[in-house]
Structure 1
Amino acid sequence: MEKFAINKKMLRQLTLMNNHREPSLEVIDSLLAQIFLEVSVYRFKRSSIQKEIDTALETGNKELFKVLATKYNEILSKYKDGIHVSEQGFEFTMNLDE
């Protein structure tokens, strides 16, 4: 299980805009909540499709496998550059290197 905590690496990923002002705790909380939600959705979708692919392989369903493999590749493609969220002039990007 991965831990989500504010650390120096994450703070460096925050792109400070508008005269390099510091974000409020509410903005940081909101950005982290958005990232957490997006990562959760990504992992759920990826895991679900992987399970469906495994089932299609076990049952020998080639057509379903092709459809699911396409879906899986679309998800990977969508998130290949990580997850990007922004709020009140602050941006945060998290890579999904797994």
Structure 2
Amino acid sequence: MSAPSNVAKFDELIHAPIRLRICASLAPLQWAEFAQLREALDVADSVLSKHLKQLSTAGYLRMERIAKGGRSHVRVALTTEGRKAFVGHVAALRAMTEMPM
């Protein structure tokens, strides 16, 4: 019998509000462009860059620079590890809210 793939595990890195929103925004997508993510989260470039760097350093997301219409764009995506961490974090939050008082 194999272990469950989505183990509930609270993740301090993901839990920060903007990083949690980044992961939630990226979870249903294959890729998102930096500008689209910035607009969806309504944050400054520098704020988004800081949080993306932290998630990238942890191996939770990958960033690619692409050429589009003669201009350079950055797109981001959750890695497999990042998706597992996000799903596990959400499961841990749900477990906390379901605890009997």
| TM-score, scaled to structure 2 | 0.28
More strand per residue: 1 or 2? 2
Higher relative helix content: 1
Greater Rg by CA? 1
**What TM-score, normalized by structure 1, do the two folds share?**
0.28
